[in-house]
Structure 1
Amino acid sequence: MVTRIMHISDLHFGRPLAMSRLNALGESIRELRPAAVAVSGDLTQRCTEHEFERAAGFLASIRKVAPVIVVPGNHDVRWMWAIAHSLGLFRRRRPGFKYRRYRRHISRELNPSLELSKAVIAGINTAHGISRGSLTRRIRDLGVIGHVPRRGLEKAREAFRRADPGAARIIMIHHNPIRGEISGRHGLANTEEALAAFADMGVELVLCGHDHQEAIHHVETTERGLVISTAGTISNRLRAGRRSSFNVVEITDGEMEISTHTWERMKGFRPSMVHTFRRSAVPHSA
Structure 2
Amino acid sequence: MFKLAHISDVHLGPLPELSLRELASKRITGFVNWHRNRSRHLFTGTLDTLLADIEKKDPDHLAMTGDLVNLASSLEIKAVTEWLEDAGKPENISVVPGNHDAYVPGAYEKTTRAWYPYMRGDDAPAHWHDRHRCFPYMRVRGPVALIGCSTAVATPPFAASGYFGQRQARATVNLLRQAGEAGLFRIVMIHHPPIRGATSMHKRMIGIRRFAATISSGGAELVIHGHTHLNTVYWLKGQHAPVPVVGIASASQGPGGHKPPAAYNLFTVAGEAGNWHLTRERYALNDDATTVSLAETTRF
Same fold by TM-score, threshold 0.5 exceeded?
yes
Aligned position for 2:282: 260
Paired with 2:90 and 2:263, the residues of 1 have a C-alpha distance of: 20
Aligned position for 1:6: 5
User: Residues 64 and 96 of structure 2 are in contact (CA less than 8 Å); yes or no, is this contact kept in structure 1?
Assistant: yes
Paired with 2:9 and 2:62, the residues of 1 have a C-alpha distance of: 14
Amino acid at match of 1:105: A
The Cα RMSD (Å) is 2.6
Is 1:26 matched with 2:51? yes
Aligned position for 2:209: 192
Q: Deviations over 1:2-22 (max 9, x none)?
A: 111111100001344412211
- State the secondary structure of the residue aligned to 2:163: coil
- State the secondary structure of the residue aligned to 2:3: strand
Aligned position for 2:294: 271
Identity %: 22
1:25/1:58 CA distance change after superposition, 3 Å = farther
Amino acid at match of 1:159: L
User: Residues 12 and 44 of structure 2 are in contact (CA less than 8 Å); yes or no, is this contact kept in structure 1?
Assistant: no
Report the TM-score, using the length of structure 2 for normalisation.
0.75
Paired with 2:136 and 2:224, the residues of 1 have a C-alpha distance of: 14
1:220/1:6 CA distance change after superposition, 3 Å = same
1:265/1:44 CA distance change after superposition, 3 Å = same
Q: Deviations over 1:228-272 (max 9, x none)?
A: 111210224886252111111110113101121111143522220
**CA shift at 1:52, angstroms?**
1.4
Paired with 1:161 and 1:222, the residues of 2 have a C-alpha distance of: 11
Structure 1 segments unaligned to the other structure (5+ residues): 82-96, 132-138, 278-286
Is 1:245 matched with 2:263? yes
Q: What stretches of structure 1 move > 6 A for 4+ residues in a row? A: none
Is 1:129 matched with 2:147? no
Amino acid at match of 1:150: Q
Instruction: State the aligned residue count.
Output: 250
Aligned position for 2:122: none
User: Residues 219 and 239 of structure 2 are in contact (CA less than 8 Å); yes or no, is this contact kept in structure 1?
Assistant: no
Structure 2 segments unaligned to the other structure (5+ residues): 16-38, 117-127, 129-133
1:125/1:170 CA distance change after superposition, 3 Å = same
1:24/1:122 CA distance change after superposition, 3 Å = same
Is 1:102 matched with 2:129? no
Amino acid at match of 2:142: S
